[in-house]
Amino acid sequence: MQGSNRSNQLQEDKQYLHQFGYAQELLRDMGGFSNFAISFSTISILTGAVSLYGHGLLYGGPGMMGFGWPIVSLFVLLVAASMAELASAIPTAGALYHWAAILGSKRWGWYTAWINLIGMVGIVAGIEYSVATFADPLLGASFGYESTTTTTMILFAITLLIHGIFNHVGIKLVAKLNDFSAWYHIGVVLILFVSLAFFTKDKLQPVEYLFQVGQTFSDKPYLLAFLIGLLQAQWTYTGYDASAHTIEETVNPRVRAPWGIFSAVAFSFVFGFIMLAMVTLSIKDAGAAVGESNPFIYIISQALGGTFGSVVLWLVTLAMFFCGCSGITSFSRMMYAFSRDNGMPLSRHWAQISKKYRTPAKAIWLVVILSFALALFDSIMKMINPDTSYSTLAFLTAVSVVGLYVSYGIPVYLKLVAEGKGLFKQKHYGPWNLGKWSKPINVLTLLWIVFISILMIVPPNQNAAYALIGMFVLLLIMDYGYYKKNFQGPEAALNVSMEEILRREAQYTEEQGENFKA
């Protein structure tokens, strides 16, 4: 898209955003690949699948990789398709929150936004903590110090600080990092595959080992243990709404953002399975691996040797580093969009755009602070109850899975309700839609979200349930103390009914003649 064509598209995107009452404040400079890359990098198979590899192996054994990953992936593809459809219809940076407010009510939108923010605190904290847990022992081996909880927390804080600076500087830098990160992730997976296939010190396990079920190293019955182990795959597939949160910075967003959401999950499915298969087939002693503090590091070191294994592990850690940068980008855009509608206390600060960098600078730094605070909360809880069996990472990831997926499900549910009432019709769909398959896919999406939300907070991960309950209680208090007095909702920008928003959207689409081709 060059010259006048690009200018025309940018003008068209700007006019379409005006249908929702918002000015084009953010710099719209992201192409289709950059939009895909931010979700692909936030999913980051080299973060979720790797950092929780030991969790999956502990509970589900090798069969967790052969069966657990594909099962979760297929259902998440349905969730992604449902979300992509809504992104095409309502392309604003508020994403889930705006979808819920327009399809349901401003109260639905307010709760969706806060639940999504809770999940995003968990995902950013989980990603950045993963970077620290991998980098700290590697640095310790290089510089001769012992990796401890304290050194990990220090490295966690430093990583957050660096990513805060990167995001503050601007979307162009972040977009370039995300573009590189997408190719980097694919490249590292291929390096892992080739290294383990041809340079492992011993023979690989037979392929049947990958699909071996019935073995668990936990004290749970295998079926329950297998279900608990699904957290490994399910947390990996979080954050792909990043394509929707950066939609006001994407050119031709009604096509590119939906494809960014869906294709990020699809590519992660394929490359994630390739990686997990090779790592699992490289296991020499699964029992010994789960007994280590970091089973993934142990398996790679055993398979490839000290020096070569360390190089590969550093490549993986750098991929996690890129993932953390993407997570802060997505989180800050959601906070910015919510704050410009006065959805948070001190909203005028979090909605403020840096004049120099055109980024939501204050929102970015609030993201950094909240993410550190959540991990600190878990550290305090462990001091109070040192016998807890779940790791900090499992706690953070469970919080993010429940928060994010509940917020993913609310607008999908409201769309089905609006369709049943005749408020949301075929003409309201964007150019990316599921057609006749929309309703059945939406229903399966909701069933899966209910299932995994319950699964993620059952013992032994009850700390995540306690944290979420505390957050929801706080949310109810804020409903009566803040919401009623301050929040007017995204439709306030148009000062018209939600039905009118949908009508204007449909009218605009018809006037453009559906000229939104990839």
Could you give the 3-state DSSP secondary structure of residue 351?
coil
Burial class (CB in 10 A: 0-12, 13-18, 19+), 25: middle
Give the residue, 515 or 111, on which the prediction is more confident.
111
For the cut 50, the answer to whether the pLDDT of residue 517 exceeds it is: no
Nearest 5 degrees, angle CA 29-CA 34-CA 40? Answer: 150
pLDDT of residue 494: 55
Mean pLDDT of the chain: 86
Percentage, residues of the chain above pLDDT 90: 45
Q: What is the dihedral of CA 64, 316, 403, 94, to 10 degrees?
A: -130
In the block, residue with structure tokens 């909605």: 351
Q: What is the CA radius of gyration of the chain?
A: 22
Q: Other C-beta atoms within 10 Å of 151: how many?
A: 16
CA distance linking residue 279 with residue 274, whole number of Å: 9
- What single string gives the DSSP state of each residue in 388-416? --S-HHHHHHHHHHHHHHHHHHHHHHHHH
Confidence of residue 440 (pLDDT cuts 50, 70, 90): very high
| Helix extents (H) in 199-305 | 222-229, 231-236, 242-245, 253-281, 286-290, 295-304
Cα dist from 312 to 110, 187, 239, 247, 292, whole Å: 44, 12, 25, 34, 19
CATH for 28-516? 1.20.1740.10
Confidence at residue 516, expressed as pLDDT on a 0 to 100 scale: 38
CB 442 within 8 A of CB 416: yes
Report, as an integer, the average pLDDT of 9-28: 61
Confidence of residue 169 (pLDDT cuts 50, 70, 90): confident
Task: Report residue 130 as tokens.
Answer: 């993963």
- For residues 273-288, give the mean pLDDT: 95
Which has the minimum average pLDDT: 132-136, 275-279, 323-327? Answer: 323-327
Cα 383 from Cα 95, distance rounded (Å):
38
Look at residue 512 and tell me whether its pLDDT is greater than 60: no
Residue 377 structure tokens: 């909360």
Contact 41/411 with Cβ under 8 angstroms? no
Q: Is residue 373 predicted with pLDDT exceeding 60?
A: yes
Separation between Cα atoms, residue 166 and residue 179, nearest integer Å = 15
The token pair that represents 278 in the structure block:
């090779």
- The whole-number pLDDT of residue 476 equals 87
Q: How far is the first Cα of the chain from the last one, in angstroms, to the nearest whole number? A: 11
Query: Distance between CA 458 and CA 476 in Å, rounded?
Result: 23
**pLDDT at position 265:** 97
2 φψ region: left (φ > 0), alpha (ψ -120 to 50), beta (else):
beta
* Residue 518: band (very low, low, confident or very high) from pLDDT cuts 50, 70, 90: very low
Read off the tokens for 109. 């939108």
The Cα 358–Cα 58 span in angstroms is: 46
Domain boundaries, the chain: 28-516
Q: Extract the tokens encoding 347.
A: 């909203």
Q: Mean pLDDT across the stretch 387-415?
A: 84
Average pLDDT of 71-98?
91
Please compute the mean of the pLDDT values over residues 273-287 and round it to a whole number.
95
Average pLDDT over residues 186-213: 92
Sequential DSSP letters for 430-494: -SS--GGGHHHHHHHHHHHHHHHHHHTTSTT-HHHHHHHHHHHHHHHHHIIIIIHHH---GGGGT
Q: Which of 145-154, 255-264, 400-409, 473-482 has the lowest mean pLDDT?
A: 473-482
- Between residues 422 and 506, the one the model is more confident about: 422
pLDDT given for residue 17 in this prediction: 61
pLDDT in tens, 227-255: 999 989 998 998 898 888 788 778 888 88
pLDDT for 505 beyond 50:
yes
* pLDDT value of position 407: 92
Which pair of structure tokens corresponds to residue 13?
A: 């995107």
SS (H, E, C) 85-101: HHHHHCCCCCCHHHHHH
Q: From the centroid of its chain, how far is CA 201?
A: 36
pLDDT in tens, 177-198: 878 888 999 999 999 999 999 9
Can you tell me the mean pLDDT for 397-406? 86
Select the highest-mean-pLDDT range: 63-72, 251-260, 357-366: 63-72
At 295 the pLDDT is: 93
28 has a pLDDT exceeding 70: no
Task: For residues 491-514, give the mean pLDDT.
Answer: 60
DSSP β-bridge partners for residue 30: 250
Q: What percent of the chain has pLDDT over 70?
A: 88
Q: Would you state the structure tokens that stand for residue 408, as one six-digit string?
A: 């993913």
The residue-averaged pLDDT of 12-16 equals 61
Establish how many alpha carbons lie within 13 A of residue 83's alpha carbon, considering only the half-sphere containing its beta carbon.
36
H/E segment holding residue 29? none
